[in-house]
Amino acid sequence: MKSWPGYAALLLLGAVLDAGVRLFPADLPVWLPWEFSWPIYLATALTLGWFVRGLKVLPKAQHPPLWRSICFVAGVLSFWIVLQTRIDYYAQHMFFVHRAAHFVLHHFGAFFIALGMSGPVLWAGMPGFLRPLIKVRPVQATLSVLQNPVMAPFLFIGLLYFWLIPGIHTRVMLDASLYELMNWTMAINGVMFWSLILDSRAKPPARLSHLMRAALILVIELPQMVLGAILSLTEHDIYPVYMICGRVLDMTALNDQHYGGLIIWLPGTLTSFAAMIVVLVTMRLNEERAESEAA
């Protein structure tokens, strides 16, 4: 994205999408937004625009490997898919679809964004006036606290549990502003946590050693499994709000809840397993690199 014409085109495209959703909601294809969100649109478009510009600005030697770039773009697009296509409509009316969407925000998509390790590319592509705002001490201090080895797993599991407390979940599903806040917190927390875990660098400059990262993966695994098991095995409807919203698929409340619990339980476990493999592989590669440099 180059200078103001690029930003103007981005805003024009957003305005067209916004108008289309408002004027022709029933006529749009499933891959267009159900409820257009300017913050989500701008976050997605600017991120991809800065990424492309960063690749143009940086010399080839500083580009991430192609597979990392693919992971990053796929992760960003996965966020858009679950938040700004007809999937979001189903997520507002079916518990298991809602759980699948949050699995993408908190695990799958966030995992791939972190695996992309594209921070330097985004930094090179973003406008110069934004960089000092990111570097100011309050922002850096906040990031340091949120990625502290105690706070990071607490927030990762705490947010998962918090938004599923029955009373809170009911309120959120009936309030559009809280619903959007929930999605933002899950997405941002997922990216921050997995970026901490999947950093391929050794400590320093990485915040954590590889052994600490492996320990944090184990810390988050058991609470996820417990929550998934509770929702999968409980024989009463914990979230009657979906009866209020109106289920759009022919499914009983218990089946909907059980499938949602399985999504927390099984794919969440597989993501942790994949993260452990990445941590162990990068630890070994860093050891080999250190041995080679020592020799």
Give the residue among 114, 116, 132 at the shortest CA–CA distance from 55.
116
CB 247 within 8 A of CB 256: yes
Note the pLDDT of residue 286.
81
Q: Which two tokens stand for residue 157?
A: 């599991």
CB 214 within 8 A of CB 280: yes
Note the pLDDT of residue 186.
97
Q: Which two tokens stand for residue 92?
A: 């507002």
Note the pLDDT of residue 34.
83
Note the pLDDT of residue 295.
62
Note the pLDDT of residue 26.
79
| DSSP H or E stretch at residue 234 | none
Structural domain contains residue 136: no
Structural domain contains residue 131: no
Note the pLDDT of residue 90.
95
Query: What gap in Å lies between CA 273 and CA 217, rounded to an integer?
Result: 8
Note the pLDDT of residue 237.
95
CB 258 within 8 A of CB 232: yes
CB 8 within 8 A of CB 83: no
- 142, amino acid identity: T
Q: How many residues does the chain have?
A: 295
Q: Can you give the residue range of the structural domain that contains 16?
A: 3-22+31-126+141-294
**Number of H helices and number of E strands within the chain?**
15, 0
Mean pLDDT per 10-residue segment, the chain (295 residues):
77 93 86 91 96 94 94 97 95 96 97 95 91 88 90 96 97 95 97 94 87 94 95 95 91 96 93 92 81 69
Count of the separate structural domains present in the chain: 1
Note the pLDDT of residue 2.
55
Query: What gap in Å lies between CA 65 and CA 85, rounded to an integer?
Result: 30
Query: What gap in Å lies between CA 117 and CA 13, rounded to an integer?
Result: 28
Query: What gap in Å lies between CA 179 and CA 280, rounded to an integer?
Result: 37
Q: What is the DSSP letter of 31?
A: T
Structural domain contains residue 133: no
Query: What gap in Å lies between CA 43 and CA 190, rounded to an integer?
Result: 16
Note the pLDDT of residue 15.
95
Query: What gap in Å lies between CA 46 and CA 41, rounded to an integer?
Result: 8
Note the pLDDT of residue 119.
92
Note the pLDDT of residue 14.
93
Residues 6+ apart with CB under 8 A from 162: 168
Structural domain contains residue 132: no
Note the pLDDT of residue 205.
86
Query: What gap in Å lies between CA 97 and CA 91, rounded to an integer?
Result: 5
DSSP codes joined into one string, 250-267: S--HHHHHHHHHHHHHHH
